[in-house]
């Protein structure tokens, strides 16, 4: 169990799980081993990347650094452990040897090691020192040894295969020796993770069984100790993240690990790289998209040439840990250990909330296959979020509501669902807004051009980062059109490409098929990950048009449109003191809204009197507030259909010839 109020003990041993109700289908599900569970419960792990390339300002050692320059006069493994603890990491994973072959322990296999540097007079042993520090701080240890060596393989990514087949046996022996040395230094009691970068063809299983029986294996095919790479270095898992190979009914349990550098796109320190430090908002977003999708977050740290993690990095780790605790450490309400299809939280009085946090007892496998989260708003149950995969933990964001009860209903399961914990939060509105499901997810999509059946338009909005839309070769200005089903508010778009081909694009919207398209955003490159905000609009149809691209055809993994918190939408203009504003199209969801009046220069205009009309009837006084200011607050609580009408009649404190604009934004 990891520390903090977020910790939830798994109090039942794996051998006692037979007491849970199980159908024959549930009994056949893949389940994690004790070793996998112990690793997964850590939730957060800290990488440590230090290498001769740190002195070179590079990502890969080019052997230009004189070993006498690696003085490391202030190296402090205690500081590294303090960094890990500050953001809740429970393991330090040390890169003991990277691609250049430099070893951070006095190995017998090469002189390119700590034996040749001034640190501790050539007598240092970083692996041993860090292991001792981890024991003092109550942290687990992970180790990374790159399987290639420049003496035996030119280039990287060879998985241990030598250039000269005649030297393969020699390198196998040396590499096995390196592992035996490192694992012995780490100790059976401490080692929790073994990491390969790109896999390894050299047989090592006997060493791992003998010297690291409690460690999971990254990049190694092992049925009870295997963990998997998420497939990117952005630190993001798929929305539906199954920890079994081949989907929820897969026969091998292999949980995901999400690795990402603190410096965007750089794993090793340089003075310039410090400017690429991820923001606190970025890190908290990654927590939601990794831990909050049932994975483990592996966040890098990279000491500088003094051997210290820079103070700016240390402060960011502290801020990150505090933000996780502040955001998720105190739930508005929670229930635990619920067996069955419904778990309900009684909040007693209406609470403002926008986040649900569901934990499954994943030791039983992926029993939950689909669920819906609902809140009781004004006495009626309202759907807040839906999902499929849960596993260790699933965090869902939704538009803020005032609810006095919240429940999760498991709508599909393999056997009876066992909910470890269900809790709700009110998180920062901007964080919640950034992680609302895109309003485009799963909507009907059509395209002007399709390369072939596996690359249809529907794959652009399916939320699966492994499927894509592709155009026919040479297609001229291809487009994809999405029908949102009804008028929706949108203020942000995001997209990702298979290859960096798009050179110019445009996003257009309209409310009905008879209206002309109007552009809301234009751009150039999309690349691996692109997103941009625009002024909020209400639209039913959205079109992404590729105006120019390079290569045979355009091909994109995903295209999403979202709403976002605090975005204003232009809803009309006014002239003179008496103003009627028809909001029937833009007030299209129950909730509270702000309506703001300003003159042509953008200065606020005072509303002297106002009336709210709902479906032609004068609304209650409680549904309209703010008279005497430039901003009105109005409320619609009942369900809205296509024929619903909302209007505001106002009298403004302006000269008769004055002109200006009106804008609107939802509050909840």
Using the predicted structure, report yes or no on whether residue 565 has a pLDDT greater than 90.
no
Using the predicted structure, report yes or no on whether residue 239 has a pLDDT greater than 80.
yes
Q: List, by residue range, all CATH 3.20.20.80 domains of the chain.
A: 31-327
Using the predicted structure, report yes or no on whether residue 5 has a pLDDT greater than 50.
no
Rounded (10°) CA dihedral 107, 111, 117, 122: 50
CA nearest neighbour of 613 among 654, 578, 650 = 650
Higher confidence at residue 38 or residue 10?
Answer: 38
CATH architecture of 445-562: Sandwich (2.60)
Using the predicted structure, report yes or no on whether residue 489 has a pLDDT greater than 70.
yes
C-alpha distances (whole Å) from 312 to each of 8, 34, 45, 100, 275 are 31, 37, 19, 28, 10
Mean pLDDT for the stretch of residues 40-69:
97
Q: Is 318 helix (H, G, I), strand (E, B) or coil?
A: helix
Least confident of 234-238, 348-352, 459-463, 639-643: 639-643
Confidence at residue 22, expressed as pLDDT on a 0 to 100 scale: 61
C-alpha distances (whole Å) from 489 to each of 517, 522, 539, 554 are 16, 19, 6, 28
Contact 78, 314 (CB under 8 A): no
Where does 57-203 have alpha helices with state H? 77-86, 126-137, 168-186
DSSP 8-49: ----S-GGGGGGS---HHHHTS----HHHHHHHTT-EEEEE-
Q: Is 384 helix (H, G, I), strand (E, B) or coil?
A: strand
pLDDT-derived band at 108 (thresholds 50, 70, 90) equals very high
Mean pLDDT, the chain, whole residue set:
93
State pLDDT tens for residues 251-273: 999 999 999 999 988 999 999 99
Using the predicted structure, report yes or no on whether residue 18 has a pLDDT greater than 60.
no
Contact 632, 595 (CB under 8 A): yes
CATH superfamily name and code, 31-327 = Glycosidases (3.20.20.80)
Exposed, middle or buried: residue 657 (CB in 10 Å: 0-12, 13-18, 19+)? exposed
Cα–Cα distance measured from residue 45 to residue 526, given in angstroms and rounded to the nearest whole number: 31
For residue 279, give the DSSP letter: P
Cα–Cα distance measured from residue 46 to residue 299, given in angstroms and rounded to the nearest whole number: 5
Q: List, by residue range, all CATH 2.60.120.260 domains of the chain.
A: 333-434, 445-562
Confidence at residue 296, expressed as pLDDT on a 0 to 100 scale: 98
CATH number, span 569-666? 2.60.120
Confidence at residue 361, expressed as pLDDT on a 0 to 100 scale: 97
| Percent of the chain surpassing pLDDT 70 | 96
Mean pLDDT for the stretch of residues 397-417:
95
CATH architecture of 333-434: Sandwich (2.60)
State pLDDT tens for residues 123-143: 999 999 999 999 999 999 999
Using the predicted structure, report yes or no on whether residue 248 has a pLDDT greater than 50.
yes
Using the predicted structure, report yes or no on whether residue 11 has a pLDDT greater than 60.
no
Q: Is 254 helix (H, G, I), strand (E, B) or coil?
A: coil
Mean pLDDT for the stretch of residues 454-468:
90
Token pair for residue 195? 């990491």
Cα–Cα distance measured from residue 116 to residue 69, given in angstroms and rounded to the nearest whole number: 10
Using the predicted structure, report yes or no on whether residue 396 has a pLDDT greater than 50.
yes
């Amino acid at each position: 169990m990891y520390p903090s109020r977020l910790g939830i003990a798994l109090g039942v041993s794996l051998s006692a799980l037979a007491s849970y109700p199980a159908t024959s289908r549930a009994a056949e599900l893949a389940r994690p081993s004790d070793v996998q569970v112990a690793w997964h419960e850590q939730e957060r792990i800290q990488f440590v990347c230090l290498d001769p390339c740190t002195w070179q300002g590079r990502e890969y050692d080019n052997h230009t650094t004189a070993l006498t320059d690696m003085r490391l006069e202030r190296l402090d493994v205690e500081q590294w452990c303090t960094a890990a603890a500050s953001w809740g990491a429970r393991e330090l994973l040390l890169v003991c040897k990277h691609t250049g072959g430099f070893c951070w322990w006095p190995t017998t296999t090469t002189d390119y090691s700590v034996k040749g540097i001034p640190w501790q007079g050539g007598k240092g042993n970083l692996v041993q020192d860090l292991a001792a520090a981890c024991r003092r701080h109550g942290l687990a240890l992970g180790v990374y040894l790159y399987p290639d060596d420049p003496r035996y393989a030119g280039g990287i990514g060879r998985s241990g295969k030598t250039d000269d087949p005649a030297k393969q046996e020699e390198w196998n022996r040396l590499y096995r020796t390196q592992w035996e040395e490192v694992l012995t230094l780490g100790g059976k009691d401490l080692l929790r993770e073994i990491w390969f970068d790109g896999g390894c063809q050299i047989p090592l299983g006997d060493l791992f069984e003998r010297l690291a029986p409690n460690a999971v294996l990254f990049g190694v095919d092992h049925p009870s100790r295997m963990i998997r790479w998420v497939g990117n270095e952005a630190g993001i898992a798929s929305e539906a993240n199954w920890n079994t190979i081949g989907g929820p009914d897969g026969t091998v349990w292999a949980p995901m690990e999400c690795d990402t550098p603190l410096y965007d796109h750089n794993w090793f320190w340089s003075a310039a790289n410090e400017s690429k430090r991820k923001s606190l908002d970025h890190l908290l977003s990654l927590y939601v998209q990794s831990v909050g999708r049932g994975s483990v977050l592996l966040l890098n740290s990279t000491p500088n040439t003094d051997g210290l993690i820079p103070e700016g990095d240390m402060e960011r780790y502290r801020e990150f840990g505090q933000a996780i605790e502040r955001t998720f450490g105190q739930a508005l309400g929670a229930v635990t250990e619920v067996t069955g299809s419904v778990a309900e939280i009684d909040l007693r009085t209406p609470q403002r909330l926008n986040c649900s946090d569901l934990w499954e007892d994943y030791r039983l496998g992926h029993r939950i296959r689909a669920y819906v989260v609902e809140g009781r708003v004004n006495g009626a149950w309202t759907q807040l979020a839906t999902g499929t995969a849960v596993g260790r933990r699933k965090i869902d964001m939704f538009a803020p509501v005032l609810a006095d009860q919240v429940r999760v209903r498991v709508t599909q399961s393999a056997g009876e669902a066992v909910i470890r914990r269900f809790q709700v939060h009110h998180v920062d509105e901007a964080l919640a807004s950034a992680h609302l499901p895109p309003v485009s997810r799963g909507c009907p999509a059509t395209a002007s051009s399709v390369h072939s059946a596996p690359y249809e338009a529907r794959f652009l909005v399916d939320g699966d980062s492994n499927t894509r839309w592709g155009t026919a070769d040479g297609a001229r200005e291809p487009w994809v059109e999405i029908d949102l089903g009804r008028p929706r508010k949108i203020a942000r778009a995001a997209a990702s490409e298979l290859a960096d081909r798009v050179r110019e694009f445009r996003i257009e919207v309209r409310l009905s098929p008879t209206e002309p398209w109007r552009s809301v955003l234009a751009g150039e490159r999309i690349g691996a990950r692109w997103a941009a905000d625009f002024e909020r609009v209400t639209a039913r149809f959205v079109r992404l048009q590729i105006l120019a691209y390079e290569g045979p055809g355009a091909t994109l993994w995903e295209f999403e449109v979202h709403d976002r918190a605090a975005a204003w939408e232009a809803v009309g203009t006014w002239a003179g003191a008496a103003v009627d504003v028809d909001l029937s199209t833009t007030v299209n969801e129950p909730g509270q809204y702000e309506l703001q009046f300003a003159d042509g220069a953008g200065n606020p205009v005072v509303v002297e009197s106002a009336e709210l009309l709902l479906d032609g009837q004068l609304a209650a006084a409680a549904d309209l507030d703010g008279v005497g200011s430039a901003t009105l607050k109005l409320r619609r609580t009942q369900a809205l259909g296509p024929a619903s009408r909302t209007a505001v009649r106002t009298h403004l404190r302006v000269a008769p010839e004055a002109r200006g604009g009106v804008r609107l934004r939802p509050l909840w």
